Amino acid sequence: MQGPLEVELSSAALVVQPRRIGMDQQLSDLAISSVLAEDVAEYPSAASAAVLRAIVAVGSPSQRSAATAALGEVTSSGFYPPAWAETIGRAVPVRALRRYDVFGDTETIAVTFAYGPDRHALLVRTDLCRPPVATKIVIDDDPADLLGLLQDERDPLSRWEDLDLAAARARLEPALTRCDRGRHPTLPVESLACLPVARARLRRLPRPQPTAPEARFGAADREAAVTAFISDPAAQDAGDAHVVRFWAEVLAGYGGLVPGTPPTLVGPIRLSHVLLSYVPTMFELTQAQRRGLPTAVAAWARWASDRHRLDDAACAHITAQLPTVLARFDDAYDNPDNAQHRAYLHDVSATTADATILAATLTRRSIALPTPDARTGESAERIVNVADPADRHAVIRDEYGDCDPPEGMSRAVFLDTAVRVSEQLWHDDPPLVWQTARQLLAEGVPQHEIIHELVQVTS
């Protein structure tokens, strides 16, 4: 016989199916609402009532609303969920544990829940090398072995601790929020199927009490770290002083992406992020900078490890992993997709290595002009020089050429206006255009629709 957890998981697999094939959340909600109205509600039974009850518990707000309406139709036909289904979504939190590595690269949090005498666990692995994002989600109906693994003390590079339930929610909430953004979620398929249940469990945890703001590190802290490194013998023996300073500024500057992260934090996964994802999409390097990369980064890693008092085992692990990362750098940097992405920042990254400035500029310009992986027109199939205004204009006309213009506006005027607001966003001039776009972005409006909205408010 199925129980509440099994029905939640099967219902979660249903509601995430459109996301698996690339639908954004809005289209996914429409697809699920259609399924609930046309399929589930039209064939009423106690089983379908249980499924709808589970979607009310684990679905998105829109899906929960559609499931509630469909459940009303099923019950009006005389079919009701089984008695045990009344407990769906009411799991009681029991205990939370956290396992984390000594570098500050990742953490894994497990929270056990009870449905009566039965226990299950939610496990979430989080990448801390960027704004925290969940990379793995597991729901385990036999959590004893899982909890035993988290408490294993034989690994010298990780630690574990009991975690207050409210603190667990505070750490999990942002990680689970970020993992499903955009058209293509970052989670593997099996984890994506657990995400709705994970979010439902999060709502069962107590809300954290307000606390003092965590320490923040600004541009002055990052510059101080660079200055301290440059004056150290490790840097002075690492090659050309200008090249070494550049790489120090890149590595320290990356810390600006994660509030509360010291600019000198160093670990093998963080270095992999910086060298294989961040640098190839952000910086146009000179030959001297590429040649000087190995010695400069190795010197920084040794110096930063000492600053954080990492023990011999941790230092040895970084030293052992760094050559593997460096060996993959050229392929990552020379990847044509990465080259197109870093072209969005060519003029800015030539003047600063501060990740906060670069990330903000990339976000703004990605709204102004969809990145290659987000384009839908003919421009998605060809190389575009985004530094050339003519190429940017061609992309916008291609992206919006088949769109219906606003009422009372000709297609020619619509396209001209779309090009104009795109250029205003690209250059952040006037700033009011970006302020408006940023508000729309915060409300969840997709990039394509933001340009439509700006056309209407600025015409």
The predicted-structure confidence for 126-177, as pLDDT tens digits, reads as follows 999 988 999 999 999 989 888 888 898 899 999 999 999 999 999 999 999 9
pTM of the full predicted structure?
0.87
Q: What is the Cα–Cα distance from 3 to 82, expressed in whole angstroms?
A: 10
Q: What residues pair up with 121 in beta bridges, in sequence order?
A: 112, 140
Query: Do 173 and 228 fall into the same domain?
Result: no
How confident is the model over 348-357, as pLDDT tens digits?
999 999 898 9
What is the count of structural domains for the chain?
A: 4
Q: What is the pLDDT of residue 444?
A: 78
Long-range contacts of 411-420 (CB under 8 A, 24+ apart): 413/459, 414/455, 417/455, 417/458, 417/459, 418/451, 418/455, 419/393, 420/458
Residue 358 lies in a domain: no
Distances in Å between the alpha carbon of 387 and those of 219, 287, 371, 427?
27, 21, 13, 11
Select from 64, 87, 110 the last residue of a domain: 87
Contacts of 225 by beta carbon, 8 Å cutoff, 6+ apart: 248, 252, 262, 263, 264
- Whether residue 377 has pLDDT greater than 70: no
Query: Do 101 and 78 fall into the same domain?
Result: no
Pairing of strands 133-140, 158-163: unpaired
Question: For 283, left (φ over 0), alpha (ψ -120 to 50), or beta?
Answer: beta
Sheet holding 106-115, edge to edge: 133-140, 118-127, 106-115, 92-101, 158-163
Q: What is the pLDDT of residue 113?
A: 97
Residue 213 lies in a domain: no
Residue 115 lies in a domain: yes
How confident is the model over 426-449, as pLDDT tens digits?
999 999 999 999 999 888 788 889
Contacts of 216 by beta carbon, 8 Å cutoff, 6+ apart: 259, 260
Q: What is the Cα–Cα distance from 325 to 97, expressed in whole angstroms?
A: 31
**3-state secondary structure (DSSP) of residue 267:** coil
Residue 345 lies in a domain: no
Query: Do 252 and 331 fall into the same domain?
Result: yes
Query: Do 316 and 227 fall into the same domain?
Result: yes
**3-state secondary structure (DSSP) of residue 109:** strand
How confident is the model over 4-35, as pLDDT tens digits?
999 999 999 888 888 877 777 777 878 887 77
How confident is the model over 262-295, as pLDDT tens digits?
999 999 999 999 999 999 999 999 999 999 999 9
Q: Which amino acid is at 31?
A: A
Q: What is the pLDDT of residue 378?
A: 67
Query: Do 79 and 131 fall into the same domain?
Result: no
How confident is the model over 72-127, as pLDDT tens digits?
888 888 998 888 888 999 999 999 999 999 999 999 999 999 999 999 999 999 99
Q: How far is CA 173 from the centre of its chain?
A: 12
Print the domain residue range for 414: 369-458
Q: What is the Cα–Cα distance from 339 to 378, expressed in whole angstroms?
A: 19
Q: Please provide the size of the chain in residues.
A: 459
Average pLDDT over all residues of the chain: 90
Q: Do residues 129 and 267 make contact, with C-beta atoms less than 8 angstroms apart?
A: yes
Select from 336, 353, 386 the last residue of a domain: 336
Dihedral angle of Cα 77, 81, 86, 89, to the nearest 10 degrees = -100
